[in-house]
């Protein structure tokens, strides 16, 4: 269902990389969109930015990243922070259906010459070990073992490593050490569990992918060295989330909050913005269930990491792949930030936005404290991806873009880009593509997305984050 509009918002350009939507009507704060003229989204997405600005307890602004586009209630590419003690709300639409959808980057001790002649074999080995596509099919088929599922919902990637599915160092480079500690698996409903027990260790479909890449350009040698990246190095990027389990958790809590809003005296301009106070019973239960789904998503990426290592061992004779970073871009977290000169606890909801902590932030692991957090920003299929790093004093609560951002709907992309043309373009740029269903390739064609180079340029110009390395795709596995 399309988002309800307040009006077509007025847009005031403040800088070449930033526009403002002034407060009007029920808006409590302005909207801020980080976008050049080329990246400015259509009016329907801008209306969603304005709608989010009406939510109780919102502070500073309703933010939109350079890759922003139309979403469910909240636009994809949005950041909204609410003051917990001042009645601030949490909304499932501010996190999205694919809870903890995120990106993981692995770095191999191999250069392109060592991989180039074996690329077809490597992509085939990855495709054979990585379940993908819609529906069930997973590395870890849990069947009726509900207790095992509960342990993954509670322990996330940390539990997977404990079970021998990874390395302790993996957790040091994963947000929150790979596990959200205050998650409550008991709040994940029966239907969500049924969907998750057959999908733990799977890629999914749509824009999810596993991609073999090479570091083609280093923009900051000191930071790249701290991240463990160098020109010519082969890497693997994994993009997926909590699959059907997370989708069902979101669906369940949208319904609960939709019924509860009247009791809390909350009205919203779009029912997709269903929300409740963070401190309410419904709000606390959602965050605990969301945490469990996020743990599932992180465990999912951890299992895919081990499958990737196994594929490298089979194709290239070595499985050493170091985790550079694992970041979620669909999550709500309680964070302390300064608001009007006072430190406040905020519920920061990032939907299609990546946290990018600056140098010196206390949540960074010791080996990254001096340089900042790697923020992973994948491009569209066949185009470059980037690793960015957080900037001191960045706006939008240390957030940046999460990818290229759609320029066309999936339906419009299928109409515009024939499968044969997409195949030909991938071959032209030297990308080996293995897709379970090639009919879905047009949805992910480069022309269906915004220009990733422009997204990164604007992110840097707006002070959100700056580029560290640019990666070129070599081979991709998709559903």
- By C-alpha distance, which of 287, 286, 348 is closest to 79? 348
Check 176, 402, 411, 434 and give the catalytic one.
402
Element (H, E) at 238: strand 233-240
**CA-CA distance, 232 to 255, in Å (whole number)?**
49
Element (H, E) at 346: strand 342-351
Tokens 């320029």 belong to 407
CB 401 within 8 Å of CB 459: yes
Q: Which two tokens stand for residue 237?
A: 């990027």
With a CB cutoff of 8 Å and minimum separation 6, the contacts of 103 are 237, 238, 239, 326, 327, 329, 354, 376, 378, 402
**What are the b/e assignments for 89-122, b being 16+ CB within 10 Å?**
bbbbbbbbbbbbbbbbbbbbebebeebeeebeeb
**CA-CA distance, 375 to 360, in Å (whole number)?**
15
**CA-CA distance, 307 to 325, in Å (whole number)?**
17
**CA-CA distance, 243 to 201, in Å (whole number)?**
10
Work out the widest C-alpha separation in the chain, in whole angstroms: 64
Which phi and psi angles does 325 have, rounded to 5°?
-170, 150
Angle ∠(460,464,469) on CA atoms, nearest 5: 50
Q: Which two tokens stand for residue 254?
A: 């949208």
**What are the b/e assignments for 426-465, b being 16+ CB within 10 Å?**
beeeebbbbbbeeebbbbbbbebbbbbebbbbbbbbbbbb
For the question of residue 402 being annotated catalytic, the response is yes
**CA-CA distance, 10 to 98, in Å (whole number)?**
31
**CA-CA distance, 37 to 18, in Å (whole number)?**
9
- By C-alpha distance, which of 322, 319, 297 is closest to 308? 319
Report the DSSP pairing between strands 31-33 and 62-69.
Answer: parallel
Q: Give the 3-state secondary structure of residue 74.
A: coil
With a CB cutoff of 8 Å and minimum separation 6, the contacts of 64 are 31, 32, 33, 34, 35, 41, 45, 49, 75, 77, 78, 79
Hey, which residues are catalytic here?
402
């Amino acid at each position: 269902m399309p988002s309800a509009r307040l009006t077509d918002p007025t847009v005031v350009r403040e800088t070449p990389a930033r526009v403002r939507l002034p407060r009007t009507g029920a808006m409590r704060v302005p909207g801020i969109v980080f976008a050049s003229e080329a990246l400015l989204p259509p009016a329907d997405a801008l209306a969603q930015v304005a709608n989010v600005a009406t939510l109780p307890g919102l502070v500073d602004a309703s933010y939109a990243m350079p890759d922003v586009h139309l979403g469910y209630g909240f636009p994809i590419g949005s950041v909204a922070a609410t003051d917990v003690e001042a009645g601030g709300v949490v909304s499932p639409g501010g996190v999205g259906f694919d809870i903890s959808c995120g990106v993981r980057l692995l770095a191999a001790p191999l250069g392109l010459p060592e991989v180039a002649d074996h690329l077809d074999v490597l992509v085939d080995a990855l495709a054979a070990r990585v379940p993908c596509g819609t529906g069930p099919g997973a590395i870890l088929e849990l069947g009726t073992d509900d207790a095992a599922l509960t342990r993954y919902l509670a322990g996330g990637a940390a539990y997977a490593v404990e079970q021998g599915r990874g390395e302790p160092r993996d957790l040091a480079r994963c947000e929150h050490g790979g596990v959200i500690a205050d998650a409550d698996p008991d709040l994940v409903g029966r239907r969500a569990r049924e969907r998750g027990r057959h999908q733990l260790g799977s890629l999914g479909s749509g824009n999810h992918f596993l991609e073999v890449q090479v570091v083609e350009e280093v923009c900051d040698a000191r930071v790249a060295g701290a991240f463990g990246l160098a020109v010519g190095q082969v890497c693997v990027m994994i993009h997926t989330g909590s699959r059907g389990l997370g989708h069902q958790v979101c669906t369940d809590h949208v319904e609960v909050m939709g019924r509860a809003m009247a009791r809390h005296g909350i009205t919203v301009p779009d029912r997709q913005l269903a929300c409740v106070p963070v401190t309410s019973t419904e709000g606390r239960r959602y965050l605990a269930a969301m945490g469990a789904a996020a743990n599932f998503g992180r465990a999912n990426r951890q299992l895919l990491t081990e499958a990737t290592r196994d594929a490298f061992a089979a194709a290239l004779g070595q499985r050493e792949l170091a985790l550079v970073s694992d970041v979620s871009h669909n999550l709500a977290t309680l964070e302390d930030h300064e608001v009007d000169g006072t430190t406040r606890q905020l519920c920061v909801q990032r939907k299609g936005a990546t946290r990018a902590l600056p140098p010196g932030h206390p949540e960074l692991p010791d080996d990254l404290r001096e340089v900042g957090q790697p923020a992973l920003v994948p491009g569209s299929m066949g185009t470059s991806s980037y690793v960015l790093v957080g900037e001191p004093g960045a706006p939008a609560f240390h957030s940046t873009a999460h990818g290229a951002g759609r320029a066309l709907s999936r339906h419009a992309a299928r109409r515009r880009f024939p499968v044969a043309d997409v195949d030909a373009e991938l071959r032209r740029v030297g990308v080996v593509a293995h897709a379970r269903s090639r009919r879905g390739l047009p949805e992910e064609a480069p022309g269906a997305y915004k220009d990733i180079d422009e997204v990164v340029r604007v992110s840097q110009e707006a002070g959100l984050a700056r580029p560290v390395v640019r990666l070129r795709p070599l081979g991709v596995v998709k559903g």
